């Protein structure tokens, strides 16, 4: 197996490869977890924190069995220490479910045995997160716990009266403001079912269809495989919300073809990383942090989806433009007819894969059901499609296949040839079972990280750290909004270098978002809370592909055979559009579909896309020909003018936005003509020299 794919699968599913009865038992545990989540999604969640208790029980068992203690631990079997940790973690997590009534009435005055169980569970959560996510998140969590204890010894405004261990555990474990708070609650409801939704689509073949369709659409153009990677990652991101899964699923096909047509290996890997990371921005699924955001700020998830749509579209427009300019600059070809799938046939043969996604969007945006219910019914539709798809294969497709057809060597056809009898039932149940297992294993690390973040949130609420940080940032920025935003960016980037997006967002939402909202209130700017939290969310995503951590870059580099650090820095450069967009929508919320209408949006979107193209020219330093340094800065200015759909104020002069945009377009046309003239002169000189 390719090293990049293996790395990514280890991160998502655990690096253990078990066989025999042990593998079957753990597989069944994972499937039961998915069935439990699907059942509660359809018929209602368990009351209080009971749902969370069962959710965390399954997560810890899977973390301790599929993710080994260290790199030296055996991969083919489970050690005694893993079994011990799984039992202790499972029992302590289930303790709340078993003793629920006793615990909810003991908050603030818990007996010592409850606190011992709570303390052990917190240790288990830290260890499970270390194994399945990153050692850095538990370290950050421990720093917060130490802050709660050593408060009296800290100088200045960060100091507080301090709390004994008993009080810390009581608040984090016994109340709903810590371990059992918003992050784990969202993990146990919305996030799991959307991850499961993506797993089902992947197992029935939707992922492969989206990749094939992207190649059919974009393969013929310059740098076709790279453009296909952007389109495919955008589509995959809309159903998976996982950057690492997106990188591996699409990258295993796109990266080799990018290299084949002329992209350097690290550039091919970087394109895939940038496109896959931005998949967390693409509605309707987005990443786990988006669901947590909806709960934290108390708005329906559909409002997050609505606000994120245009920025996500602009992010992908920028990446697509940069890829195009890279292909033009390096004179990279597209795929010939034999190398790409036929357009019409590819489109028609997989349209049924899009039906669940259409249903999900319709239920979310039109019917306005809860995200949990929407995801549950969409999953049930996928089950029906799985049976229908396999019936079509057996009755119509497979009997007509000949040697050399694309489907001839696929696992589904091989399975059919080996045993045609009961093929439909056998294959469909296999796909459903695998999806249930994959969804649970994908969720284990997410659940552990959310529980870890719950501990951090518990410390913040116990000590009042969020308010203290908001005050400190506001004072340091001198009441300036732009300085506060810049402080938040640096904090997100630094923190995000070692933490996953979800953890980065949760911490920054507690620490820096209140500061931005405070200054907004002081200056009477009225910045919507959705805009502030999306601002923090975006920079957490950008940090996700920033070296030295950037797991996506390591996975893509493994596939591309490139240096992961070099790949990471290149992807960071390709992803720089995300640096400008949050500032844009903070200052003009029309980009978030706030205080606007559809007529205005029909004007704003194409103009903003043109602005992102100007941004891409600034990054690449190339359009029709290489740009002069002064041209690049003109493109930078044009990008800001076009993406920011508002009036321009110069001193006391207020210029209408339409005049601003018209002027920007005129300048763009003049530069185009200027560059084209230079390009023709260069080509004439080259041809004359050849003569």
Structure token digits, residue 664: 């920007």
> Could you identify the residue written with the tokens 């708070």?
181
Question: In this predicted structure, what is the pLDDT of residue 418?
Answer: 84
Question: In this predicted structure, what is the pLDDT of residue 495?
Answer: 77
Rounded to an integer, what is the distance from CA 412 to the centroid of its chain?
30
How far apart (Å, rounded) are the C-alpha atoms in residues 680 and 215? 32
Angle between helices 301-330 and 265-277 (to 10 degrees): 160
Asked if residues 574 and 322 have their Cβ atoms less than 8 Å apart, the reply is: yes
Question: In this predicted structure, what is the pLDDT of residue 30?
Answer: 95
Question: In this predicted structure, what is the pLDDT of residue 581?
Answer: 84
**Alpha-carbon distances of 634 from 555, 607, 624, 668, rounded to whole Å:** 37, 17, 15, 9
Per-residue HEC secondary structure of 131-190 comes to HHCCCHHHHHHHHHHHHHHCHHHCCHHHCCCCCCHHHHHHHHHHCCCCCCCHHHHHHHHH
Question: In this predicted structure, what is the pLDDT of residue 22?
Answer: 87
Query: What is the mean pLDDT, run by run of 10 residues, along the chain of 691 residues?
Result: 51 65 92 96 89 96 91 83 95 94 83 93 95 88 94 85 92 89 91 91 88 89 89 79 75 86 89 84 80 89 90 90 89 85 88 91 88 93 94 87 71 84 92 94 91 92 86 83 87 76 84 88 88 88 68 81 85 78 86 87 89 90 89 90 69 68 90 88 57 48
Task: Output b/e per residue, 473-486; b: 16+ Cβ within 10 A.
Answer: bbeebeeebeebbe
How far apart (Å, rounded) are the C-alpha atoms in residues 93 and 117? 9
Question: In this predicted structure, what is the pLDDT of residue 288?
Answer: 77
DSSP H/E element including 557 = helix 551-560
Question: In this predicted structure, what is the pLDDT of residue 127?
Answer: 96
- What residues are paired with 648 via a beta bridge? 655
How far apart (Å, rounded) are the C-alpha atoms in residues 260 and 338? 14
Domain ranges within the chain, ordered by starting residue: 3-133, 596-691
How far apart (Å, rounded) are the C-alpha atoms in residues 361 and 302? 9
For the chain, the C-alpha Rg in angstroms (whole number) is 26
How far apart (Å, rounded) are the C-alpha atoms in residues 327 and 321? 10
Closest by CA to 196, choosing from 357, 363, 37, is 37
How far apart (Å, rounded) are the C-alpha atoms in residues 654 and 652? 6
């Amino acid at each position: 197996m390719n090293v990049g794919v293996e790395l990514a699968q280890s991160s998502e599913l655990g690096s253990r490869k078990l066989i025999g009865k042990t593998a079957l038992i753990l597989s069944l545990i994972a499937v039961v977890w998915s069935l439990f989540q699907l059942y509660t999604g359809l018929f209602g969640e368990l009351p209080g924190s009971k749902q969370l208790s069962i959710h965390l029980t399954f997560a810890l068992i899977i973390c301790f069995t599929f993710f080994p203690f260290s790199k030296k631990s055996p991969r083919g079997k489970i050690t005694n220490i893993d079994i011990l940790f799984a039992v202790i973690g499972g029992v302590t997590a289930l303790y709340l479910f078993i003793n629920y009534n006793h615990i909810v009435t003991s908050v603030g005055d818990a007996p010592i045995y409850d606190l011992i169980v709570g303390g052990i569970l917190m240790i288990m959560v830290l260890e499970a997160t270390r194994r399945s996510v990153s050692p850095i998140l538990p370290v950050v969590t421990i720093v917060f716990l130490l802050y709660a204890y050593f408060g009296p010894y800290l100088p200045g405004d960060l100091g507080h009266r301090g709390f004994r261990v008993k009080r810390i555990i009581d608040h984090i474990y016994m109340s709903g403001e810590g371990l059992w708070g918003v992050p784990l609650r969202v993990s146990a409801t919305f996030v799991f079912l959307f991850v499961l939704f993506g797993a089902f689509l992947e197992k029935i073949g939707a992922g492969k269809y989206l990749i094939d369709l992207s190649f059919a659409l974009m393969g013929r153009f310059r740098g076709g495989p790279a453009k296909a990677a952007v389109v495919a990652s955008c589509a995959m991101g809309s159903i998976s919300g996982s950057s690492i899964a997106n990188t591996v699923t699409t990258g295993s096909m796109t990266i080799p073809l990018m290299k084949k047509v002329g992209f350097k290996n690290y550039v091919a890997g970087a394109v895939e990383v940038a496109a896959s990371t931005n998949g967390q921005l693409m509605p309707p699924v987005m990443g786990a942090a988006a669901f947590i955001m909806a709960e934290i700020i108390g708005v329906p998830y559909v409002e997050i989806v609505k606000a994120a749509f245009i920025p996500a579209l602009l992010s992908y427009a920028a990446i697509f433009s940069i890829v195009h300019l890279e292909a033009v600059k390096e004179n990279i070809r597209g795929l010939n007819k034999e190398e790409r799938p036929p357009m019409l046939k590819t489109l028609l043969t997989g349209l049924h894969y899009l039906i669940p996604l259409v249903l999900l969007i319709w239920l979310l945006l039109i019917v306005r059901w809860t995200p949990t219910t929407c995801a549950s019914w969409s999953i049930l539709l996928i089950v029906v499609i799985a049976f229908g798809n396999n019936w079509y294969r057996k009755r119509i497709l497979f009997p007509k296949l000949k040697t050399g057809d694309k489907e001839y060597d696929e696992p589904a056809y091989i399975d059919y040839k080996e045993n045609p009898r009961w093929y439909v039932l056998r294959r469909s149940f296999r796909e459903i079972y695998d999806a249930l297992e994959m969804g649970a294993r994908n969720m284990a690390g997410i659940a552990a990280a959310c529980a870890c973040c719950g501990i951090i949130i518990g410390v913040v609420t116990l000590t009042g750290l969020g308010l203290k940080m908001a005050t400190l940032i506001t004072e340091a920025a001198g009441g300036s909004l732009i300085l506060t935003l810049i402080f938040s960016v640096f904090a997100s980037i630094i923190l995000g270098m070692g933490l996953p997006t979800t953890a980065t967002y949760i911490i920054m939402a507690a620490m820096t978002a209140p500061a931005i909202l405070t200054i907004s209130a002081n200056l009477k700017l009225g910045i919507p809370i959705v805009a502030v939290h999306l601002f923090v969310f975006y920079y957490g995503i950008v940090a996700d592909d920033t070296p030295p951590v950037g797991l996506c870059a390591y996975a893509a580099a493994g596939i591309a055979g490139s240096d992961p650090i070099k790949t990471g820095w290149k992807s960071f450069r390709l992803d720089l559009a995300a640096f400008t967009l949050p500032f844009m929508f903070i200052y003009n919320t029309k980009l978030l579909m706030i205080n606007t209408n559809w007529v205005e949006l029909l004007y704003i979107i194409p103009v903003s896309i043109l602005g992102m193209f100007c941004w891409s020219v600034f990054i690449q330093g190339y359009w029709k020909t290489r740009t002069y340094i002064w041209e690049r800065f003109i493109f930078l200015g044009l990008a800001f003018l076009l993406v920011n759909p508002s009036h321009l104020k110069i001193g006391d002069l207020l210029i209408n936005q339409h005049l601003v945009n018209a002027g920007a377009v005129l300048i763009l046309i003049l530069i185009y003509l200027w560059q084209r003239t230079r390009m023709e002169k260069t080509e004439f000189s080259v041809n004359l020299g050849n003569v």
